[in-house]
Amino acid sequence: MQPEAYTQMAEAERAHWWFVGRRRLLEAVITALALPPAARILEVGSGTGGNFPLLQRFGAVTAIELNETARAMATARTGLPVQSGALPDALGLGDQKFDLICLFDVLEHVGPDAASLQALRAHLAPGGRLILTVPAYRALFGPHDKALHHFRRYERAALAALLGQTGYAIHYLTFFNCLLLPLALMARLADRLLPREAPLGERTPAAPLNAVLTAIFSAEAGPLSRGRRLPFGLSLLAVAVAAG
- The whole domain housing 75 covers 3-242
pLDDT of residue 31: 97
pLDDT per residue as tens digits for the range 133-171: 999 999 989 888 888 899 999 999 999 999 999 999 999
Average pLDDT over the chain reads 91
CATH number where 37 lies: 3.40.50.150
pLDDT of residue 200: 44
**Overall number of domains in the chain:** 1
pLDDT of residue 51: 97
- What's the whole-model pTM score? 0.92
Name the residue with higher pLDDT: 7 or 22.
22
Query: What share of the chain in percent tops pLDDT 90?
Result: 77
pLDDT per residue as tens digits for the range 178-221: 998 887 777 766 666 666 555 545 678 899 999 999 999 999 99
Alpha carbon distances (Å) from 5 to 9, 33, 47: 6, 34, 11
pLDDT of residue 160: 98
Helices (H), the chain: 3-15, 17-33, 52-56, 68-78, 113-121, 143-147, 156-165, 181-193, 207-218, 221-225
Answer positive or negative: Cα dihedral of 148, 151, 154, 160: negative
Q: Within a 10 A sphere around the Cβ of 132, how many other Cβ atoms? A: 24
Lowest mean pLDDT segment, chosen from 1-15, 34-48, 52-66, 222-236: 1-15
Per-residue pLDDT band for 119 (boundaries 50, 70, 90) equals: very high
